[in-house]
Every structure is written in C-alpha cells, then in structure tokens.
Amino acid sequence: MKPIQIAVIGTGSISSLHLDAYMKNTNAALYAVCDLNAERAQAAAEKYGAEKVYTDYRELLADPVVDAVSICTWNNTHAEISIAALEAGKHVLVEKPLCKTVEEATKVQEAVQRSGKLLQVGFVRRYDTNAQLLRAMVDRGEFGDIYFAKASTLRRLGNPGGWFSDIERSGGGPLIDIGVHVIDLCWYMMGRPKPVSVSANTYHKLGNRSNVQHLSFYQAADYDAEQNTVEDMANALIRFENGASLLVDVSFTLHAKANETVIKLYGEKGGFEIDPETVIVTEQNDTILNIYPQTDNKGFDFASAFQNEIDHFIDCVATGKEPISPVADGVEIMKILVGIYESAAKGAEVRL
C-alpha cells in the first residue's frame, strides 16, 4: 500500500504525540507540518523529517500531495480548519474537543457528510488497550445495563496557563480540557446513550495560583502568570434517555491533598473501574469477586493509546471504515459540555 501522506497542523505540545505515532506507522508518511510560529514549525520538520513547512494552513490544504491531516491547534480554530480540510478533500483527525459550540460542531458534521471524507475526533482514552478490553465485555453484556458512572479528574495545581486559560481560545477550562476525556470515556462505555439533561456548577475561586512555590506543574508555551478567564472547577450530573446517569467533577486547581483521577461504572450484572487501575467487579457462586486483568498496564497508558489512535486513523483512511470516535460523537459530547456551562451559568438544570 502506498503510504498515506500526512500533515500536522499546529506543532505545540500535543503534536509530538501525533508526530511520534505517525513515525512508527509504516503506512503513514509525514509529509508536512504547519504552525503560525515558523521557527517552531521548522524545528518540528527537522526533527521528524517532514518535507514541507507551512505557516498558513490554507496553503497546506491546497497541496494535492496531502491525504490527511491532524489538527493540533487552539480549540477556537478546530471547526474552521476541520471544515476547510474536508472541503479540500482531506481526511481529518482533530484533537478534542471537536470545537467550542454546538453550532460549530453541527457545521463540521455537515462538512463531513458533504465531503465524503472521514473525521476522527481525538478521544484518545477510547483507544487505550484496557478501555477496549472493557468495551468488548460491555458489548457482550457481561455487566448488564450500565446505569451509573462516576468520574473525577482533579488537579490540585494544574492550570497550564497560556491559551488553556484564555476562554476565547480554549472555550473553557478543566471541563473542556481534561473533563472531556472522562465524560467521553464513561459515555462510550455506557453505550453512548442519548443525553437529555444536565445540572451543573462551575467555580472561579482560586485562579491559576501562580504564587505557589516549590511545586512544579505543566505550563503552556505561552504561560502568563496573571492571565486566567476559565473556571477552576466544574461538577455535573448528566442524565440520559435510558435512565442512566453520570456524575463528574473536574478541576485545574483545588485545595486537594493530591491529583486524582477516578473512573467507575456500575451495571446490573457487574461493574468496573478504569482509573487509577482496571478492576472488574462481578459475582460467582454467590460471592463478590474483584478481578484484575493481566495486561501490560494496570491503568491508562497515554503513549500506547495515542499510537492505537493514530494507527486506527490510518487504517480508517486506507479502508474507508468509520472510526470508533466519529464526528457524530463529537457533536454529542459538545452538547454535554455546552450544557454544563449553560446550567452552571443559569443555576438550574438544562434540557439538552
């Protein structure tokens, strides 16, 4: 098979995971990179051996050699670049979240339908080996109906600053950055039931806490110690049409003892935990059993999940099959995220 010619748009921190994974896929060839920062784009091209360097994504999309693109830019550009890429005849892998609004998400979905090209949303946690193991068990009915899930992803000191803390570029804070991962993973594991309502809260109490010393944390390339227009923390109860519910809380900063990510789902026949490690809870011979699958990683492995995600994208481009995180799922998750912010602003439950 002729290698699929790949271009990566946006060469910030997340792009390295895309670039590394493409380099390891024998059916992909990294052809071009693009970034508003010419120096950063050139550095990425030299490191990964890309033939072309662009600073304008429109010029890149006009290049007939490009078959598919990864979009690793600010959230407020996801819809615009995705639509332009689809209209240019390119397949698209776009980082989460799909965009900033439901209206934008719908326009992206319409562009996918018009173009006949595929768009895969970067819900990387779906692609983790343990997640796929558990999803296969869900599909076989081993847990029965999954009616309740709980997800927490809490950082005590983890506001990256820069564009992450600028609501105009990001669309929101921890909810839209890290919360989207756990919300999507729970929803995916629950069988993607139709969301019908959200009751939520957001808090703006602590800011980015740039005053804290002696404790390091990830900082965006454009980190600004003063800038912060996003929430510190959000929590929500999401109800689904089938009666199931999801309780979620997320934070960039919180007076918590430690960072914590916990994901638990409960069904009629059994339950399971995904974070901090994979555990299956079931019954046999009138006895409750906690089962720990013997896999390479007890919990989520970011690097291997990213490789799986990129490999899946390349396979879908080559074969024409639909990705396991299609544009329609990006639209539904966008409805939930926007609903959470709307409910918090109104101080009342919102129907989706």
Domain map (residue ranges) of the chain: 4-124+306-325, 126-300+333-351
Alpha carbon distance, N-terminus to C-terminus of the chain = 44
pLDDT at 222: 86
Q: How far apart are CA 335 and CA 329, in angstroms?
A: 10
Helix (H/G/I), strand (E/B), else coil: 9: strand
Q: How far apart are CA 278 and CA 257, in angstroms?
A: 23
Whether the domain at 4-124+306-325 and the domain at 126-300+333-351 fall into the same CATH topology:
no
Model pLDDT for residues 222-276, shown as the tens digit of each residue:
898 888 999 999 999 999 999 999 999 999 999 999 999 999 999 999 999 999 9
Q: How far apart are CA 300 and CA 131, in angstroms?
A: 8
Q: pTM of the prediction?
A: 0.97
CATH for the stretch 126-300+333-351: 3.30.360.10
Regions of the chain with pLDDT less than 50? none
pLDDT at 178: 97
Please state the CATH superfamily assignment of the domain spanning residues 4-124+306-325 in this structure: NAD(P)-binding Rossmann-like Domain (3.40.50.720)
